[in-house]
Amino acid sequence: MQKTIAVINNKGGTGKTTTVLNLGAALAKQKKRVLLIDLDTQSNLTQSLQVQNTENHIGKVLLSRCDIKDAIVQAEGMDIIPSTDELLDFEFLINNEPGREFLLRESIANLEKEYDFILMDCPPSMGTLSINSLVAADSYIVPMQAENFAFIGLDRILQTAEKVKNRMNPKLELEGILFVKYQPRTKFGQAVVSNIIQNQQLKNKVFNSYIRQDIQLMETTAFGQSVFEYAPKSRGAFDYINFAKELLNK
């Protein structure tokens, strides 16, 4: 059964792109058919996989200017629909479309039997493209750091997702919260994790797996590879394999 997951946080630098890239690669290593969708106007996921052919991108797909299958590019055993620096202009046009929140769901409807997982890298905002991802998704993952003010950003995401669930996508669920760049020995990090785990609204919604701070993992996007290609024996590779297995077991 196919699962469509939005990886979302309204803050930048929270590990969304790193998670989509390396979770996708880890799932591909488990023999799953994976499609990545880059919805970020900064195109970080597209650049991280060194995708050069972006003539047909997600903006054109959403406005029906190209067939979705013509936009799919292969990279590292996965498929990806790329973004481009033109996406910001396309987002303006998308905002004027009737039913603009449903464009992505309509676009991927015919891909249900072709992939086991569709992972969407969302922009660091709760704008039209992020809402499109939540309307199209079965569930969403929130990568976050154990840092001050983490609750504030998380609360806004949960509120927005609940509105989407009530108004546009009743099947939408929080898949879980993934702690990234985590330093388990710090008391502050432990306190943030403990507070979130004890929150009644988030009970059983924090992944047991976490992604530890790892310089090699941080370098992967700059070198245009997943962690499994760049540093297969690193902590980051170990952590993302564990996370993928936990997700599959769920």
For residue 143, give the CATH number of its domain. Answer: 3.40.50.300
> pTM value?
0.95
> Helices 16-29 and 235-249 meet at what angle, rounded to 10?
70
Across the range 209-227, mean pLDDT stands at 91
Buried b (16+ CB within 10 A) or exposed e, 179-201: bbbbeeeeeebeebbeebeeeee
Domain holding 174, by residue range, is 3-240
Across the range 45-70, mean pLDDT stands at 95
In a domain, 249, yes or no: no
Nearest to 53 by CA among 75, 77, 23: 75
Number of folded domains in the chain?
Answer: 1
Across the range 124-151, mean pLDDT stands at 89
User: How does the average pLDDT of the chain come out, rounded?
Assistant: 92
Q: Which amino acid is at 57?
A: H
pLDDT digits (tens, 9 = 90+) for 81-108: 999 989 999 999 999 999 999 999 999 9
In a domain, 246, yes or no: no
| Strand-pair partners of 36 | 80, 119
In a domain, 21, yes or no: yes
Q: According to the model, what pLDDT value does residue 78 have?
A: 97
In a domain, 221, yes or no: yes
Spatial distance between the Cα atoms of 216 and 232, rounded to a whole number of angstroms: 10
| Strand-pair partners of 140 | 6, 174
Confidence of residue 150 (pLDDT cuts 50, 70, 90): low
